[in-house]
Structure 1
Amino acid sequence: MICNICFKMLRGQVGRQWRGSWDPSFDHQPSLGSLQDSARSECFICRRILEDMPPGHRRSKHVSSRQKPTFIAAHIMALERGDYYRLEFTLHGDTHSQSSLGTLLLEPTSLSYHDLEARPLTHSAESSFESNVYTPTSTALNSTEVLQLARYWISKCMSDDHENCPNKDFSNRFIPPSKSSHQMEDDNPTGSGSRLLQKQASGADSLMSLNPPFYPTRLLILGPVDEPFVKLIVTKSADGQDSNCLTEPKGQYVTLSHCWGKTGQTFSLNEKNLGVFQSKGIPLKELPRTFRDAIHFARRLSQSVKYIWIDSLCIMQKNEADWLQESTQMYQVYRNSYCNISATFAEDSHHGLYANRDPQHLWGEEVNLNTKELVPSEFRVRSGGGSLDNHGARIQRCRIVDPSHWERKVEAAPVNTRAWVLQERLLAPRVIHFCEDQIAWECRELDASESSTDGIADVEVKFGEIRDRGRIRLKSLVAQEYGQQDSSSNFEDGAKQAQENWNLITEKFSKTNLTKPKDKLIALAGIAEQFYGKIAAPYVAGLWKTAYFASQLLWLVEPLYQKPKFFHPSRRPDVYRAPSFSWAAIDAPQGIRCGEIQEEEKLLIKVLRVSVQPEEHPNSQFGLVKKGGFIEIECQKLPIVISTKSRRTPEGVRDDVYIWTLVDGREKDARMHPNVYLDSPEDDFEHIRAQHQSSSTWLVPAYKNDSGDLIGLLLQQKSNNSPHFQRVGLSIIPRYISSEKEIMSEAWVDENGNFKSLEEEAIAKIVEKDVIQIF
């Protein structure tokens, strides 16, 4: 339902105000208190607005006599593509000068009332109809209703309807024998899915003999629903060889994704209790609530599911050797599971899966929209700006679509801020998310929730714009291992697409959190192993040594802006993790942004040598790297000074913007250049400033994009006259600020402002031998 204020605004355009725009604007709610009252009365729209409002604003219902009253404004516009109307809300007042609260979309349905005279503004004028849609009624997530929906999604995923998802025979698929970690050949056979394999083999029995199903080293036997304990089994010895004394598992297993919590795990596997867990089992009453709920749900999910894998109960805690061994199997553990159960909303292992909820909050809502003067801007120009509705209002029945639903319920939920969980989501064939008030579903072909059981709208609101098919479906980024395979596609095109997908994953991964910063590359190793089959190139500390390697060096760390100040929270870890040219050398809560993927021939730098050695432990190709890694590049370089620029704000003068200037004595080069993105100002800037007199900071022009912007690496020389540098940032010189001739010597560019050959410029080295001693 919606409140009377929203009903009158949408149906009768009550409260409309002129705010200098063709699109109708309205005074929606007169105060925060009124908004809260409507939300409490179960108004679908007002409740959604309140969810997006900053907590500090929600608590404020009154203002002083010297302040302008706080009120909510609404704006409705027709999108140019014609299949949605946009409903946007802003917060106004002395301290909230037009702050955006959120955006909803109104999608026209098949039930529309065109060219009708506007009806009286009463609720009786609303047309009701029966809809065959999922309408939950259960008040908790442990209900049979929720379980049945999860089973329905699984059955659809395993059916022929989902051609790109693994079916029930996926565990019997044929996989060629693994190559050594140093072989850089394509390991991705065409058509590895079981559907295709059934055409290539004589039957499941022959496939089973070729490739027995994978099982993790340890599993928990689920047992009956009312069993008061679970037992641990060991499927193989530590060295990976099967033994007669080990348990041979039969059946499917599920995995659990969860947050350990700030207080640490209170119950886990160790060398002392291993024998007890195997012989006597683990009493459920001693387990955290999340574990108990996951076991209860898994026991009811399917008769074929016999086991559950939980990291803290299946990996030896405080045993470095066992952890390293098991962490290298994460790729196989998750990809071979029946499904992943995710405690998505739980902040720790004691929160549980089974949240209570008001089921009516999940019901969809439809409204009648008065479309008078709601015309796409492009059409207004062609029609001369006249109104299209001269014979009365057009009432359009619309379904309310929340474009940020998936982001709020899943992407931004606590468990998905964990770095380790990203690979769990990507590698598992399907994920069941337990959110704050509903379950959600994720597989290669469908993202869904109890609010949108048939699929989440493939639209996204980004930087204030509605982007059709703009929402990135996470599981669509990983290389396909099953289902229909396109054998006719060009391998190079596929490799470039895989590289672009890797960059998107990298950007998302860089925003996640790790309890132990040194685990950054290990937490990504499973995904890297999966991508290796498609990219087919050496893996270099988070980058790939392909034809696009040089362009992968052009990542940047953007500052955070919280009015009126810029913040630079990125830091270098206290322990060595990666060479400075890799994004993995930086911890940036705001994430990193990858550069445009380009072949090296289009860049202004040339990579001559890459020397990064993996640590010596199993599957080290995708994990930790040794100190001393470096790349050798051929480039042009310019001596610069990096400094801060003062700017005035309402709160005083701030020095939170970085600039650079050339220092080779040319008068025309005294220009200050902004758009400086330092990797970690907190760690690097004081050292950079202390070395100004020796001109130890350099700009290396690296790429000129199609817009004419020049992108350059910022490097710090380790010592005078040394060929060794380290990366400290990146700079973008927009075309409108300066041409290449104003930045560099005329000897380096031709008469058209294009860069000359790099052959005459000296070779520079960026060598990272001991980052910790430097930083």
Structure 2
Amino acid sequence: MASGSFKYHRHHPSLQFIINASNSGCWVCYRLLEAVREIGINEESSFKWTLDRRSEPKYSYQLWFYAGHKCIAIGSLSLVPYKEYDGSVTNYAPIAGSDTMSDAALVQANKWYHECLSRHSACNFPLLSESRVPTRLLRVDEDQSYARLVITREEAIENSDYLTLSHCWGGLDILKLTSANLNNFKEGISLGVLPKTFVEAITVARNLSVPYIWIDSLCIIQDSIHDWQVESALMDHVYSNSKLNIMATVSKNGHEGLSRARDSRNLELCAEVESKWENAENDTFRLVNDVIWESAMNGAPLIKRGWVLQERILSPRSLHFCENELFWECREKIACETYPTGLPSICSNNSQSNVKIREPSGSESYKEIHMVHRTSASKTKKDVAYDRWATWIMLYSRAYLTNDSDKLVAVSALAKFTRTALDDIYVAGLWRSKFVDQLVWSSFRRNPRPTEYRAPSWSWASVNGEICFASIMPNTQYQIEIDEVQVVPLSPVDVTGSVFVGFFRARGLLIRETLIQKPKYDNLFYFFGDGHVPIYVSLDMPADKYKEPVVVLPILNYSLRPEDNPSGYLPTRFQALILQPRAGSPNGFYTRIGLAQSDISFIKDERHGKLAAIGNTLRKLLRRDPVSSSKSHRFSRNEIGVNSGIDESLYLADSPGSFIVY
């Protein structure tokens, strides 16, 4: 039973036997049958199972099923011995109610809400130093058949508690606030004309005895660009000051509603099981679905919506309406109806877990508290906050936006919070203090760049699709020096929102190269240096959209240490931006088209073998002779050692010196 030693055991000879076992009450076969129906399996297939031993929790096993050669996932089911329990698994509760808006479900939501209000100190501190009530709210406690739009500055509000709603618009026509119907909305809105999701969200607010709710389409004037600009700049206040964010997690549009009918058998957990192995120690186990959180969230329509990330992060509490049950997410706990007191540690350890912010903005703890990073380097909490920003953006880049122009606007609330917390300058999705580090991002997809300008080419916001930031190692050496970064916002109302134009001016080594792609290699690998130097290239666009030759700008290099790579291979690597001359601009103006990485050990011919040495020399010169951002400087070739046997045609005439990247 050691890890990796798979032994297969016969389960059922055909699908009909699984159906029979499911109908007889076998929970495992019921779950297996659900998975089989999703992927489609030949009815005559025989089934087998195997166990894989896990390192954590100790002595636990992962259960896998196979039909023919197909692996069938029925959730990540783990056999966890009772002796390893932390007690949380025994807090399992049978699900009551036939749907997720049942009385039993709302009673549980009420318990979570009031427990959090009364007991969770981390959930009750103000995230922002200023508490601000939204411009407009819907009052929902006056008449059971109506809601009323309230202009908060026009009415005396004794209890300003309000909920928010996160939902997918879904491209369908729903009732919206406009300049024409604003006065009518102030008189009252019949619940009969509202989409199902809105009506059920109002029901939740009433159940929790909260008098107001904020819904974007009913509280922002949808035909006023000015109102949208003003209100979208206040999203940090709207969500961080709400009592609870209701999340229509599995609904594709406003008409699907929050509620879902459910089969309680899909939520039942096995009782204890006893092993009867001949070649391993036997024990008593509980069968646990340890990806219950991921199964509910991953792929859910709302979680894939770009705007929702900041709504979920900034709100102190979230109530997720999922396919089979409610999930609770606050700063101190993740729970569900199956585990109402909190997910077992085996589940939460596997989760990307809680994205909520646990510190108020401007906290001195950012400067004082140190944490141990995965690279074993000591990091201040301020460093951890920069890492957290990178994590947020990587998550955000996986989501979609209805309007591509919202790319920066949809995270502007997170940017405002982070700007206050870090006391840093925000530049089109990057932070000035970590600017060079955050230039080193790569795009997973080679999507065409948007036709409408929304960010400088060096910003992750200039591309569509998922991106990834590089890990910055403790011994990183930088090969460029940034003299100036300028970003002009599209609207003065929100300097963290859309961008009109942006650029940076820097000094470094610009190398003219031609990228050579060889058919037998993966399309991410190119070669330069007469086709002898392999280089990993992540282009920001389709390969046929850029023009040769390109310009390679080394950004940084680092050497792996033994603790970073136990296998013993410890290369020195460099990261570089791939640029091309900016169309219609003078010499020295460039745009980014990708990121390159290679190991110095691959660079064996004479001219490329000098890259690291040139970088070291350049770095010393930059420190010795700082250059004003107002003038260009050109180092002589003797200064950087280019005359020592290196082909001068490799380097641009004005390099190294000052250049601009848009």
Task: Name the TM-score, length of structure 1 as normaliser.
Answer: 0.72
Indicate how the Cα distance of structure 1 residues 72 and 630 shifts in structure 2: closer, same or farther if over 3 A, else same. Answer: farther
Partner of 1:611: 486
Indicate how the Cα distance of structure 1 residues 328 and 131 shifts in structure 2: closer, same or farther if over 3 A, else same. Answer: closer
Indicate how the Cα distance of structure 1 residues 269 and 290 shifts in structure 2: closer, same or farther if over 3 A, else same. Answer: same
More displaced, 709-718 or 100-109?
100-109
Partner of 1:700: 554
Partner of 1:661: 527
Question: Is there any run of 5+ residues in structure 1 with no aligned partner, and where?
Answer: 1-12, 14-18, 63-68, 113-129, 177-212, 237-244, 374-386, 461-467, 559-567, 648-654, 664-668, 769-775
Q: Kindly provide the CA deviation profile for residues 301-326 of structure 1, in whole angstroms up to 9, marking residues without a partner as x.
A: 13xx1101111011111211111110
Indicate how the Cα distance of structure 1 residues 471 and 33 shifts in structure 2: closer, same or farther if over 3 A, else same. Answer: same
Give the Cα–Cα distance (whole angstroms) in 2 for the partners of residues 270 and 745 of structure 1: 62
Partner of 2:118: 159
Does residue 287 of structure 1 match 2:216?
no
Partner of 1:141: 100
Indicate how the Cα distance of structure 1 residues 524 and 33 shifts in structure 2: closer, same or farther if over 3 A, else same. Answer: farther
- Counterpart of 1:641 (choices 493, 514, 521) is 514
Indicate how the Cα distance of structure 1 residues 82 and 497 shifts in structure 2: closer, same or farther if over 3 A, else same. Answer: closer
Partner of 2:81: 108
- Counterpart of 1:550 (choices 427, 430, 436) is 436
More displaced, 402-411 or 81-90?
81-90
Give the Cα–Cα distance (whole angstroms) in 1 for the partners of residues 354 and 197 of structure 2: 25
Give the Cα–Cα distance (whole angstroms) in 2 for the partners of residues 437 and 403 of structure 1: 16
Q: Please give the residue correspondences for 1:240-259 in structure 2 after superposition, counting only pairs within 5 Å.
A: 245-248=154-157, 250-259=159-168
Give the Cα–Cα distance (whole angstroms) in 2 for the partners of residues 487 and 755 of structure 1: 31
Q: Please give the residue correspondences for 1:658-697 in structure 2 after superposition, counting only pairs within 5 Å.
A: 658-663=524-529, 669-671=530-532, 673-681=534-542, 685-688=543-546, 691-692=547-548, 695-697=549-551
Does residue 714 of structure 1 match 2:578?
yes
Q: Please give the residue correspondences for 1:44-55 in structure 2 after superposition, counting only pairs within 5 Å.
A: 44-49=27-32, 55=38
Q: Kindly provide the CA deviation profile for residues 456-508 of structure 1, in whole angstroms up to 9, marking residues without a partner as x.
A: 34557xxxxxxx83533333456445999788526971210100111111110
What is the SS of the residue equivalent to 1:634? strand
User: Counterpart of 1:142 in structure 2: which amino acid?
Assistant: M
Q: Kindly provide the CA deviation profile for residues 490-547 of structure 1, in whole angstroms up to 9, marking residues without a partner as x.
A: 697121010011111111001111000000100001111111122211001111111x
More displaced, 406-415 or 326-335?
406-415
Partner of 2:375: none
Q: Kindly provide the CA deviation profile for residues 287-340 of structure 1, in whole angstroms up to 9, marking residues without a partner as x.
A: 1000111111211113xx110111101111121111111001110001111101
User: Counterpart of 2:230 in structure 1: which amino acid?
Assistant: Q
Q: Kindly provide the CA deviation profile for residues 373-419 of structure 1, in whole angstroms up to 9, marking residues without a partner as x.
A: 7xxxxxxxxxxxxx6x5xxx62x222222232211212431111111
Does residue 74 of structure 1 match 2:49?
yes
Do the aligned residues in 1 keep the contact of 2:128 with 2:360 (CA within 8 Å)?
no
Partner of 1:272: 180
What is the SS of the residue equivalent to 1:285? helix
Indicate how the Cα distance of structure 1 residues 607 and 486 shifts in structure 2: closer, same or farther if over 3 A, else same. Answer: closer
Q: Kindly provide the CA deviation profile for residues 735-770 of structure 1, in whole angstroms up to 9, marking residues without a partner as x.
A: 6xx4445485344444xx9854343461353422xx
Do the aligned residues in 2 keep the contact of 1:551 with 1:600 (CA within 8 Å)?
no
Partner of 1:25: 8
Question: Is there any run of 5+ residues in structure 2 with no aligned partner, and where?
Answer: 372-378, 561-569, 622-639, 641-654
Give the Cα–Cα distance (whole angstroms) in 2 for the partners of residues 20 and 227 of structure 1: 59
Residue correspondences, number: 608
User: Counterpart of 1:105 in structure 2: which amino acid?
Assistant: S
- Report the CA distance between 1:258 and its aligned residue: 0.6
- Report the CA distance between 1:159 and its aligned residue: 2.9
- Report the CA distance between 1:146 and its aligned residue: 1.1
User: Counterpart of 1:727 in structure 2: which amino acid?
Assistant: R
What is the SS of the residue equivalent to 1:440? strand
Does residue 327 of structure 1 match 2:232?
yes
What is the SS of the residue equivalent to 1:556? strand
Give the Cα–Cα distance (whole angstroms) in 2 for the partners of residues 607 and 599 of structure 1: 20
Indicate how the Cα distance of structure 1 residues 217 and 721 shifts in structure 2: closer, same or farther if over 3 A, else same. Answer: closer
More displaced, 269-278 or 44-53?
44-53
Do the aligned residues in 1 keep the contact of 2:275 with 2:284 (CA within 8 Å)?
no
> What is the aligned-residue RMSD (CA, Å)?
3.4
Does residue 261 of structure 1 match 2:138?
no
Indicate how the Cα distance of structure 1 residues 108 and 490 shifts in structure 2: closer, same or farther if over 3 A, else same. Answer: closer
Do the aligned residues in 1 keep the contact of 2:527 with 2:534 (CA within 8 Å)?
yes
- Counterpart of 1:498 (choices 364, 381, 385) is 385
Q: Kindly provide the CA deviation profile for residues 329-386 of structure 1, in whole angstroms up to 9, marking residues without a partner as x.
A: 110001111101111111110001121112343233234242747xxxxxxxxxxxxx
- Report the CA distance between 1:437 and its aligned residue: 1.4
Give the Cα–Cα distance (whole angstroms) in 2 for the partners of residues 705 and 259 of structure 1: 46
What is the SS of the residue equivalent to 2:498? coil
Q: Kindly provide the CA deviation profile for residues 400-451 of structure 1, in whole angstroms up to 9, marking residues without a partner as x.
A: 2223221121243111111111111111110011111111000111111112
Does residue 765 of structure 1 match 2:642?
no
Do the aligned residues in 1 keep the contact of 2:450 with 2:462 (CA within 8 Å)?
yes
Indicate how the Cα distance of structure 1 residues 341 and 251 shifts in structure 2: closer, same or farther if over 3 A, else same. Answer: same
Q: Please give the residue correspondences for 1:48-447 in structure 2 after superposition, counting only pairs within 5 Å.
A: 48-49=31-32, 55=38, 57-58=39-40, 60-62=41-43, 70-89=45-64, 91=66, 93=68, 96=70, 103-110=76-83, 133-160=92-119, 162-166=120-124, 175=129, 214-223=132-141, 227-236=144-153, 245-248=154-157, 250-263=159-172, 265-279=173-187, 281-302=188-209, 305-370=210-275, 372=277, 389=280, 394=282, 396-447=283-334
Partner of 1:593: 468
Indicate how the Cα distance of structure 1 residues 704 and 415 shifts in structure 2: closer, same or farther if over 3 A, else same. Answer: same
Indicate how the Cα distance of structure 1 residues 234 and 81 shifts in structure 2: closer, same or farther if over 3 A, else same. Answer: closer
Give the Cα–Cα distance (whole angstroms) in 2 for the partners of residues 494 and 621 of structure 1: 26
More displaced, 427-436 or 245-254?
245-254
Indicate how the Cα distance of structure 1 residues 552 and 145 shifts in structure 2: closer, same or farther if over 3 A, else same. Answer: same
Give the Cα–Cα distance (whole angstroms) in 2 for the partners of residues 724 and 458 of structure 1: 53
Q: Kindly provide the CA deviation profile for residues 199-255 of structure 1, in whole angstroms up to 9, marking residues without a partner as x.
A: xxxxxxxxxxxxxx521111111125x71111111113xxxxxxxx44545331101
Does residue 489 of structure 1 match 2:489?
no
- Report the CA distance between 1:103 and its aligned residue: 2.9
User: Counterpart of 1:552 in structure 2: which amino acid?
Assistant: Q
- Report the CA distance between 1:285 and its aligned residue: 0.7
Q: Please give the residue correspondences for 1:428-577 in structure 2 after superposition, counting only pairs within 5 Å.
A: 428-458=315-345, 469-477=349-357, 479-480=359-360, 488-489=368-369, 493-546=380-433, 548-558=434-444, 568=445, 570-577=447-454
Give the Cα–Cα distance (whole angstroms) in 1 for the partners of residues 410 and 263 of structure 2: 37
Give the Cα–Cα distance (whole angstroms) in 2 for the partners of residues 615 and 99 of structure 1: 50
More displaced, 84-93 or 570-579?
84-93
What is the SS of the residue equivalent to 1:425? helix
Give the Cα–Cα distance (whole angstroms) in 2 for the partners of residues 717 and 231 of structure 1: 56
Partner of 1:210: none
Give the Cα–Cα distance (whole angstroms) in 1 for the partners of residues 358 and 90 of structure 2: 36
Partner of 1:381: none
Indicate how the Cα distance of structure 1 residues 569 and 397 shifts in structure 2: closer, same or farther if over 3 A, else same. Answer: farther
Partner of 2:636: none
Do the aligned residues in 1 keep the contact of 2:476 with 2:559 (CA within 8 Å)?
no
User: Counterpart of 1:625 in structure 2: which amino acid?
Assistant: V
- Report the CA distance between 1:728 and its aligned residue: 1.2
Indicate how the Cα distance of structure 1 residues 88 and 554 shifts in structure 2: closer, same or farther if over 3 A, else same. Answer: farther
Q: Please give the residue correspondences for 1:725-740 in structure 2 after superposition, counting only pairs within 5 Å.
A: 725-734=590-599, 738-740=601-603
Q: Kindly provide the CA deviation profile for residues 590-648 of structure 1, in whole angstroms up to 9, marking residues without a partner as x.
A: x1111124689732222222111222332x22111112x1112222233322344434x
Do the aligned residues in 2 keep the contact of 1:254 with 1:339 (CA within 8 Å)?
yes
Indicate how the Cα distance of structure 1 residues 174 and 557 shifts in structure 2: closer, same or farther if over 3 A, else same. Answer: closer
Give the Cα–Cα distance (whole angstroms) in 2 for the partners of residues 28 and 480 of structure 1: 53
Give the Cα–Cα distance (whole angstroms) in 1 for the partners of residues 551 and 17 of structure 2: 57
Indicate how the Cα distance of structure 1 residues 283 and 522 shifts in structure 2: closer, same or farther if over 3 A, else same. Answer: same
